[in-house]
């Protein structure tokens, strides 16, 4: 396929995958691609380059299916809202970033050295791309076993996820509706540190700014702003 990606059994990445996930890849190409951030894209000409974004897209779909199926069978007495909320927490960028760091994926991701990998979503995105690579290389049933046994079940605190609702934006919108007050989220792109581009968000209630937050994505910034706003308004209820 791409000759420079053809590696043998003894390649360090094969050994890493064996130590972390418990198997040897059939085609190491997919896994090398999964660990190639767009900042380190391999260019063939001005119109064609490869990185892990397509595998990330695939891995996201596969992961959501696996988690959805698992929760469907595990929580037989819960409704759709519970299952959807729990799945969203498990596959959130915050959760996947933490799992990827625990699995030490950050040691093997290829990226430009000036990027702060721990202050970004690069680890979680690479983890999803790895799941996509496993799916292409080994099929769905094998991928499901690895995702549950090696990635999710050992690294997710289920009870904490169930008991703690982290949808701060939803909470403050509910609060505003209950109290019949206007609420507005304002968000704009910015640099959240010297190197990383992201977003800053504000929450305004009755034309007063009550919370701010920063994040790599707009969603993260709004959640952080909502969390701060909740802390500011709840004591006054």
> Any idea which residues carry the catalytic annotation?
60, 128
State the CB neighbour count (10 A cutoff) for residue 160. Answer: 10
- What is the rounded distance in angstroms from the CA atom of residue 79 to the CA atom of residue 72? 9
User: 45, 12, 14, 46: which is closest to 27 by C-alpha?
Assistant: 14
Q: What are the residues whose beta carbons fall under 8 Å from the beta carbon of 71, sequence distance 6 or more?
A: 78, 83, 86, 87
- What is the rounded distance in angstroms from the CA atom of residue 218 to the CA atom of residue 169? 12
23-44: buried (b, 16+ CB within 10 Å) or exposed (e) per residue? bebeebbbbbbbbbbeeeeeee
Burial of 48 (0-12, 13-18, 19+ CB in 10 A): exposed
What is the SS3 string spanning 11-52? CHHHHHHHHHHCCCCCCHHHHHHHCECHHHCEEEECCEEECC
- What is the rounded distance in angstroms from the CA atom of residue 147 to the CA atom of residue 128? 10
Count of residues in the chain: 237
User: 173, 232, 227, 178: which is closest to 208 by C-alpha?
Assistant: 232
Residue that has been written with the tokens 């040691």 in this structure: 107
């Amino acid at each position: 396929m791409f000759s420079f990606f053809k590696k043998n059994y003894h390649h360090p990445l094969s050994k890493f995958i064996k130590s972390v996930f418990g198997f040897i890849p059939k085609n190491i190409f997919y896994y090398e691609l999964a660990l190639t951030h767009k900042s380190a894209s391999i260019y063939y000409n001005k119109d064609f380059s490869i990185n892990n974004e397509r595998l990330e897209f695939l891995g996201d779909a596969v992961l959501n299916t696996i988690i959805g199926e698992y929760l469907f069978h595990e929580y037989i007495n819960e409704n759709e809202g519970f299952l959807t909320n729990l799945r969203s927490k498990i596959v959130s960028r915050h959760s996947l970033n933490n799992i990827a760091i625990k699995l030490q994926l950050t040691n093997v991701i290829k990226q430009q050295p000036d990027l702060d990998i721990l202050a970004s979503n690069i680890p979680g995105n690479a983890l999803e791309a790895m799941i996509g690579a496993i799916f292409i290389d080994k099929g769905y049933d094998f991928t499901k076993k690895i995702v549950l046994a090696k990635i999710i079940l050992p690294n997710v605190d289920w009870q904490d996820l169930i008991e703690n609702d982290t949808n701060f934006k939803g909470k403050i919108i509910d609060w505003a509706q209950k109290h019949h007050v206007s609420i507005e989220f304002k968000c704009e792109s910015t640099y959240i540190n010297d190197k990383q581009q992201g977003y800053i968000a504000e929450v305004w209630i009755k034309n007063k700014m009550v919370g701010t937050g920063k994040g790599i994505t707009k969603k993260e910034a709004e959640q952080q702003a909502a969390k701060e706003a909740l802390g500011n308004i709840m004591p006054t209820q």
